[in-house]
Amino acid sequence: MGAETRNLSLRLSLCPYWHGWDPTAGEPQSPLIAEDCGLHRRYLRWRRVRIARPDRDSLNSMNERPHKEQFRFPRWTNTIRPHLGLGLTVAPLYLIALIYYAFNPTTTMSGYQPPQPVEYSHTLHAGELGIDCRYCHFTVENAATAAIPPTEVCMNCHASILTESTKLLPVRESHNSGMPIKWVRVHDLPDFVYFNHSAHVTRGIGCESCHGRIDHMDQVAQEQRLSMRWCLDCHREPENHLRPVDVVTTMGYAPAEDQIALGSRLRLENQINPSLDCSTCHR
């Protein structure tokens, strides 16, 4: 294949109206193709493809074409016609529903905020009382998962604080029966994704970067979409989020200097290079 021919067939295949007609071989042979190739012709003109001149013989044979050679839709296609109108009304509704569904928080899961069995508030405990995240989520630095505190952690205080509170009744019941409180999971990646808290927290990614201002949440809501893109955006440019390791649990952390300058320096000093390999997160 010569370079020019290859170039041409490439340009032809790029034409959205192409039905298999090769203009360098002369005029189209079927009237159907001829018709929609009006569009194709315009496209070719725009693309500056030269159409070969038809010779007299092939022109004559086109005029003499017997009628029965014309393409006709089979009879059964007539039964589709009444449904066509229905399709045209349903299609936009379907599209709207699809878009609505795609952006709905229960689909994207950001903003997901299930009710919990106890009115436990992070605003009160992590915010006003200033209890460090690691007091309750004590595995977060050493393990893949951040532990949800067992009832005993609550009882460290609530054995003596607000012992009569009705809001704390489920906590006392759990303590007496030994049955754990049935907290409802908020963040939940699909099973085919591997995530690891300690790999992030010990390298200088704060809880806030992924969970938002937990200390402003009376009831925990999921702030980020936890999509693959979200993970990858930060794995490509972690300097947008890196902070000194001793402030990973600080809420509302604002660096004294420019975040990018700080992040870039920390990245270099600690050789932080998050992997983009599929196998890092899909094992």
Residue 111 CB, nearest approach to ligand HEC (Å): 13
Residue 251 to residue 256: CA distance in whole angstroms:
15
Q: Which residues contact 244 (CB under 8 A, 6 or more apart)?
A: 204, 266
**x-or-dash pattern for ligand HEC, window 57-76, by CB under 6 A?**
--------------------
The alpha carbon dihedral of 229, 231, 235, 240 has a sign of positive
Site for ligand HEC in 258-277 (CB under 6 A): 272-277
239, 267 Cβ separation under 8 angstroms: yes
The encoded tokens of residue 208 equal 């806030």
267, 238 Cβ separation under 8 angstroms: yes
Of 124 and 268, CB closest to ligand HEC: 124
Which of 20-28, 77-85, 94-102, 116-124 is the region at the interface with ligand HEC (rule: CB under 6 A)? 116-124
Site for ligand HEC in 135-194 (CB under 6 A): 135-137, 140, 145-146, 148-149, 153-154, 156-158, 161-162, 165, 167-168, 171, 183, 185-190, 193-194
Of the candidates 210, 217, 252, 249, which has an alpha carbon nearest to the alpha carbon of residue 132? 249
Backbone dihedral region of 189: left (phi > 0), alpha (psi from -120 to 50 degrees) or beta?
beta
The single residue among 23, 248, 263, 266 that binds ligand HEC, judged by CB under 6 A, is 248
Of 12 and 249, CB closest to ligand HEC: 249
The single residue among 203, 245, 255, 259 that binds ligand HEC, judged by CB under 6 A, is 203
Residue 198 binding ligand HEC, by CB under 6 A = no
Per rule CB under 6 A, count of chain residues that contact ligand HEC: 77
Place of tokens 């980020």: 224
Of the candidates 249, 283, 114, 119, which has an alpha carbon nearest to the alpha carbon of residue 188? 114
Which of 18-26, 41-49, 74-82, 112-120 is the region at the interface with ligand HEC (rule: CB under 6 A)? 112-120
Residue 151 CB, nearest approach to ligand HEC (Å): 7
Of the candidates 188, 238, 246, which has an alpha carbon nearest to the alpha carbon of residue 209? 238
The single residue among 33, 51, 131, 245 that binds ligand HEC, judged by CB under 6 A, is 131
